[in-house]
Amino acid sequence: MKRLLTKTNLLILIGGIVLSLVLILPGRFSASCPLITTDDPNMQANCPFFIDQDSNQVCDLIQGLAISYEPSSFDFSHLKEFAIFVLLLAAGIFLTWKKPKYYSAFRLALLFLSLVYFGFLLSQALCPIATLQMIFVSKERVVLTFFIFLVFLLPLLTTLLFGSIFCNFLCPIGAVQEIIFRFSRKFGKVPVLARFPRFLLYLPYLILFLVALGSAHFSTTIFCKFDPFGALFSCNPTGWKLPFLVALLITSLFIFRPFCQFLCPLGAIFKFLEKFRILRLLETEEIKQS
């Protein structure tokens, strides 16, 4: 019989409870920093990459800018988007757990569906990267926008259990890069770069630290100002976002998911959590005991 309550799993459980309490208990991380107002001319650039262009943008809701938003109570909007997210997440878990015969084909289909739905068709969607930043700005508003908070929390929990389900199956940013990479391998003779200096693998952790620090200090979703995929998904190619996006897409011809490997702050959290993947630890322990 598998032992669920090992010392490692107990530490993970305690850590998860502490993190949950830090997120849910009242008190802002950066109380002295005012929230962005609607007069801010750069507000549009601060929004998540999954946005529409009207007054009901997700960043308005999560920052409490919408007139109808009451930060003293839970907001249960975006139920339909959340339900679809959960269905796709469950499909990713099933593919990871069962590994069916046509696993690769199903996985690519799920990635493509996530890319089309969350990336291009959905007018109001849920962005875990923006939510990550908003935790350091006003965590109460993140928690009170209930389904947005769950879209951030569920990928963390599933990573602890099954691995990076979100990255492998649901992330539109990863989907764009992977489709380009696979296209280049199938229809062209493009050399693949697979070996890199080891220090590059630590860049996401540095970016995560800077994003947390910058979001708390400036009280805004600072990474969204520099996110090159904002030019693609929000059709808002401001500043140097467009040339940066083009450079990343070209790089994707030679490197598998370059943004995910070297730049994504949320990916840094997933990489760390995956080292403590509970099911893998249980399988390893079971092998040792047999």
Judge whether 167 lies within some domain: yes
Per-residue confidence (pLDDT) for residue 255, from 0 to 100: 93
Query: Does residue 230 sit in helix, strand or coil?
Result: helix
131: its two tokens: 């939510």
Per-residue confidence (pLDDT) for residue 266, from 0 to 100: 92
Judge whether 61 lies within some domain: yes
3: its two tokens: 């032992």
Each of the 290 residues of the chain gets a pLDDT tens digit; together they read: 344 556 666 666 666 666 656 555 544 333 333 333 444 444 443 433 333 333 334 455 555 444 344 455 788 888 888 899 999 999 999 998 888 888 999 999 999 999 888 887 764 456 788 888 888 888 878 888 888 888 889 999 999 888 889 999 999 999 999 999 998 888 777 788 878 888 888 999 999 999 999 988 888 888 888 888 877 887 666 677 888 999 999 999 999 999 999 999 999 999 988 888 876 654 444 444 44
Judge whether 45 lies within some domain: no
* DSSP structure class, residue 220: S
Q: Are 223 and 45 in contact (CB under 8 A)?
A: no
186: domain range? 54-289
Per-residue confidence (pLDDT) for residue 32, from 0 to 100: 35
Please state the domain count of the chain: 1
99: its two tokens: 């590994």
Judge whether 3 lies within some domain: no
Per-residue confidence (pLDDT) for residue 125, from 0 to 100: 55
Judge whether 12 lies within some domain: no
**Cα 33 to Cα 29: distance, rounded to the nearest angstrom:** 9
Per-residue confidence (pLDDT) for residue 196, from 0 to 100: 85
Query: Tokens 């993947």, residue?
Result: 277
Per-residue confidence (pLDDT) for residue 89, from 0 to 100: 94
Judge whether 274 lies within some domain: yes
218: its two tokens: 């400036």
Q: How far lies 123's CA from each of 25, 35, 49, 73, 78, in Å?
A: 31, 24, 11, 24, 11
Per-residue confidence (pLDDT) for residue 16, from 0 to 100: 62
Per-residue confidence (pLDDT) for residue 178, from 0 to 100: 94
Judge whether 36 lies within some domain: no
Q: Are 58 and 126 in contact (CB under 8 A)?
A: yes
Q: List helix spans (H) across 43-145.
A: 43-46, 58-62, 79-98, 103-114, 128-144
Judge whether 34 lies within some domain: no
Q: What is the DSSP string of 251-287?
A: HTTTSSSHHHHHT-HHHHHHHHHHTT-HHHHHHHHHH
